[in-house]
């Protein structure tokens, strides 16, 4: 039994001596991976803005680990958004949603943003083919701790109004 214990201790000592250098793959380095299709975003945003829609309705569905599911009916008149479902909750026009997406991109791609360890984000956006508004977008942080993995928003039932 004593020989077995000595062999285990010897193997552990070897693994710590040779297996734990600062250059191995387990060391977290300050590295950022940010995935986003900027060309598709710019094309759809430009098409949306060129239509200059000022009066429309849509539904917003929001999901995050911190809030759970939220759903709102939004009405935009003369470019001003109003939350019909929850009047005390701020609403955004589609143009403002595009601005939010751009702000997220700017934040994570800024030279001032310093990741703490290795961070991998994906900002994924789907668009309506006819009106060019975002129908869905999500920000995902891979390997996030519980409660910190991102969020998603879905926009549906878009309708132009008089």
The confidence score (pLDDT) of residue 39 equals: 97
Is residue 50, in this structure, part of any structural domain at all?
yes
Q: Write out the H or E segment, with its range, that includes residue 57.
A: strand 56-64
Dump pLDDT digits (tens) for 73-119.
999 999 999 999 999 999 999 999 999 999 999 998 888 887 777 78
* Mean pLDDT, rounded, for 24-31: 55
Is there a domain that residue 124 lies in?
A: yes
Strands 68-77 and 150-160: unpaired
In a domain, 4, yes or no: no
Residue 16 lies in a domain: no
Q: What is the mean pLDDT of the chain?
A: 82
In a domain, 42, yes or no: yes
| Contact between 123 and 37 (Cβ < 8 Å) | no
| pTM across the whole model | 0.77
Domain contains 6: no
**Is there a domain that residue 20 lies in?**
no
Q: Could you give the number of structural domains in the chain?
A: 1
| Residues spanned by the domain of 130 | 30-160
């Amino acid at each position: 039994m004593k020989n077995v214990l000595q062999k285990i201790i010897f193997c552990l000592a070897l693994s710590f001596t040779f297996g734990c250098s600062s250059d191995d793959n387990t060391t977290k380095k300050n590295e950022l991976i940010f995935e986003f299709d900027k060309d598709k975003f710019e094309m759809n945003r430009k098409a949306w803005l060129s239509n200059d829609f000022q009066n429309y309705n849509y539904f917003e569905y929001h999901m995050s680990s911190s809030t759970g599911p939220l759903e709102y009916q939004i009405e935009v008149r003369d470019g001003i958004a109003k939350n019909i479902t929850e009047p005390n909750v701020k609403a955004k026009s589609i143009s403002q949603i595009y601005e939010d997406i751009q702000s997220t991109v700017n934040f994570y791609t800024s030279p001032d943003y310093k990741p703490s360890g290795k961070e991998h984000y994906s900002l994924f956006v789907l668009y309506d083919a006819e009106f060019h508004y975002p129908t869905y977008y999500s920000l995902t942080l891979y390997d996030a701790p519980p409660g910190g993995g991102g969020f998603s928003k879905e926009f549906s039932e878009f309708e132009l109004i008089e």
